Amino acid sequence: MLKVGDQAPDFTVMAHDGKPVTLSALRGHKVLLWFYPKADTPG
pLDDT of the residue at 25: 95
Q: Name residues whose C-beta falls within 8 Å of residue 24's C-beta, 6 or more positions apart in sequence.
A: 10
Q: What is the pLDDT of residues 2-41, one digit of tens each?
A: 899 998 899 998 888 999 999 999 999 998 877 777 766 6
pLDDT of the residue at 40: 63
